[in-house]
Chains A and B, each alone.
Chain A
Amino acid sequence: AQSVTQPDIHITVSEGASLELRCNYSYGATPYLFWYVQSPGQGLQLLLKYFSGDTLVQGIKGFEAEFKRSQSSFNLRKPSVHWSDAAEYFCAVGKAAGNKLTFGGGTRVLVKP
């Protein structure tokens, strides 16, 4: 069965500092990997995704993520956070078209001025 672990429940970062959110997955084949962001009271917005090819993927809002098969990880990074990046971030794994996504528990990011 597929599973996703986000080890950090909360992260506090200063505005302008870099951010890295960890995601580890468990899946038997090549996974489809996603990062979604949920702002307070909002739905889930797709930040980026990985299916195959280049292991460093670029997303919206200046985010990027790197797929490392050897570590079963798909960590999300941003070089310089903005106050508007305060939100909850979810990593998710899927296996094929039309199949369910399995989400991690989320990491809540707080941005200090």
Chain B
Amino acid sequence: EPEVTQTPSHQVTQMGQEVILRCVPISNHLYFYWYRQILGQKVEFLVSFYNNEISEKSEIFDDQFSVERPDGSNFTLKIRSTKLEDSAMYFCASSDPRGGVETQYFGPGTRLLVL
């Protein structure tokens, strides 16, 4: 069964450093998403991406964040200058709304720790 993959599984970085989290969505999916889950808190939406542009973003997704689909398979989340509060599990998801049933499938996550 196709699945969403994410790399790395864990990332440790110093405050102020840039990080890039990578995702490979399911190949025929059209919508891509990033969510995050701070330890002990609920899963929060960050951004959705469709047709090579952001379709929706949350208040969390400020100028420090950016997303890109650099080629036909990868979808990346970049945090330009990490803060301590960016420490979280970051989930990528993808969906295909064609056929009238739209389900988001999630990857295993990247655990980011900012020191």
Contact = CB atoms under 8 A, between A and B. Distances in A.
Q: Are A and B a genuine interacting pair, yes or no?
A: yes
Contacts of B42: 90, 103-106
A46 interface: yes
B55 to A, nearest CB: 6
B48 A99 contact: yes
Contacts of B101: 51
Contact of B95 (A36, A44, A98, A104): A98
A42 B33 CA distance: 18
Interface residues of A, number: 24
Chain B CB count within 10 A is highest, among A32, A46, A100, A104, for A100
Interface string A38-55: 000011111001010000
Interface size class of B (residues with CB under 8 A): 20 to 34
Contacts of A46: 103, 105-106
Contacts of A104: 42
Secondary structure call for the A interface: loop
A2 to B, nearest CB: 11
B8 interface: no
A98 B98 CA distance: 11
A97 B95 contact: yes
11 contacts: A34-B104, A36-B106, A43-B109, A96-B102, A97-B95, A97-B97, A97-B102, A99-B56, A101-B43, A103-B42, A103-B44
Interface of B: 30-31, 33, 35, 41-45, 48, 50, 55-56, 58, 91, 95, 97, 101-109
Given A97-B31, A98-B48, 6 more contacts: A34-B104, A43-B106, A90-B42, A98-B50, A98-B55, A102-B45
